[in-house]
């Protein structure tokens, strides 16, 4: 299938989205890495820059090791870049890109804001900083299902130490804070017969408890050369299209300690064709719920790639 071009007027609005942490699994990207030399080169480039055994952990696990923040973030980023290479190799050019949390860094490389090497560098630094700060605050995240944002915000008036971390959809909102406060909220939700799911994450990501992490990553971001996006890029902190490289950089600092506005991103992009590029189908399912009239695909292996291409013919 390599090399075939597709006219964008036939595909219409093709948006590529990239997943974040928690999409990892042992063997992700395996088919592409083993069969396409450039894909293996991407992971080797990541190993050279991060000094981490990414290929071994991606291919062989164990999952407990692959799930560690310090390994997970560069590994998911690397596999997303592998899948992005395959998409480009098949002639696809998106009209917009976005990524969820960690996935925003994949979107930066796809849109030409950062190089692949810069992406691996800053993702490793981000993982280290987030892991360090998380270890000091004893916090976590919880998904609240079946409630809209205003209703969740009303509940949180009784729990002032808890904040909205991810506004993923009208029925999936993630909140974060200290573990003790989240346990009290979870008990309250059970009494109201509202479903809350404690997430297996190491910290209260995208809340004000991570503000110090934003200050630390700002120092690392200053070392990079932020270009203006060549492809329209939508940002987590605002939910809107980035104006230039300077705003992208400022957005990454804010992203660590403020709400990921995923619902706003998808609504602002609007109906069209979406493809999640990277491991699993987490974003695919969310987008299908937000824009049911859109066609939503994923590309993570040969089967999903074939499905994507065949459905667009």
Among 100, 128, 167, 206, which one carries the catalytic annotation? 206
- In this prediction, residue 3 carries a pLDDT of 43
List of E strands, the chain: 14-18, 96-99, 139-145, 163-169, 172-178, 195-198, 233-234, 273-277, 295-299
Residue 291 class from Cβ within 10 Å (0-12 exposed, 13-18 middle, 19+ buried)? middle
- In this prediction, residue 12 carries a pLDDT of 66
Among 23, 80, 101, 140, which one carries the catalytic annotation? 101
Q: What is the pLDDT of residues 119-142, one digit of tens each?
A: 999 999 999 999 999 999 999 999
Please list the ranges in the chain whose pLDDT falls under 50: 1-10
The span from the CA of 191 to the CA of 185, in Å, is 10
- In this prediction, residue 11 carries a pLDDT of 64
> Residue 40 is inside which H or E element, if any?
helix 37-50
**Catalytic annotation present for 80:** no
- In this prediction, residue 5 carries a pLDDT of 45
Nearest of 32, 25, 86 to residue 57 by alpha carbon: 25
CATH numbers and ranges of domains, the chain: 8-135+207-312 (3.40.366.10), 137-198 (3.30.70.250)
**Catalytic annotation present for 111:** no
The span from the CA of 211 to the CA of 182, in Å, is 19
Q: How many CB atoms lie within 10 A of CB 122?
A: 21
């Amino acid at each position: 299938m390599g090399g075939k071009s597709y006219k964008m007027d036939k595909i219409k609005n093709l948006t590529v989205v990239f997943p974040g942490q928690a999409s990892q699994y042992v063997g992700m990207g395996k088919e592409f890495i083993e069969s396409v030399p450039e894909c293996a080169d991407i992971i080797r480039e990541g190993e050279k820059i991060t000094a981490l055994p990414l290929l071994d952990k991606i291919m062989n696990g164990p999952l407990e090791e692959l799930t560690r923040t310090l390994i997970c973030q560069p590994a998911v980023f690397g596999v997303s870049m592998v899948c992005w290479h395959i998409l480009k190799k098949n002639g696809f050019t998106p009209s917009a890109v976005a990524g969820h949390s960690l996935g925003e860094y994949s979107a930066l490389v796809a849109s030409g804001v950062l190089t692949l090497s810069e992406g691996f560098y800053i993702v490793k630094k981000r993982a280290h900083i987030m892991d360090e700060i998380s270890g000091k605050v004893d916090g976590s995240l919880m998904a609240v299902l079946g409630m809209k944002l205003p209703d969740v915000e009303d509940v949180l008036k009784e729990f002032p130490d808890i904040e909205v971390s991810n506004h993923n959809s009208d029925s999936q909102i993630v909140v974060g804070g200290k573990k003790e406060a989240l346990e009290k909220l979870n008990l309250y939700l059970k009494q109201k017969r509202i479903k809350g799911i404690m997430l297996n994450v190491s910290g209260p990501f995208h809340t004000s408890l991570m503000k110090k992490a934003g200050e630390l990553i700002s120092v690392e971001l200053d070392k990079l050369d932020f270009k203006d996006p060549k492809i329209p890029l939508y940002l987590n902190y605002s939910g809107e299209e980035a104006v230039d490289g300077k705003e992208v950089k400022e957005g990454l600092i804010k992203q660590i300690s403020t709400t990921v506005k995923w619902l706003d991103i998808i609504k602002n992009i609007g109906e069209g064709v979406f493809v999640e590029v990277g491991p699993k189908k987490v974003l695919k399912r969310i987008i299908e719920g937000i824009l049911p009239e859109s066609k939503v695909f994923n590309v993570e292996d040969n089967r999903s790639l074939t499905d994507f291409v065949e459905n667009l013919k």
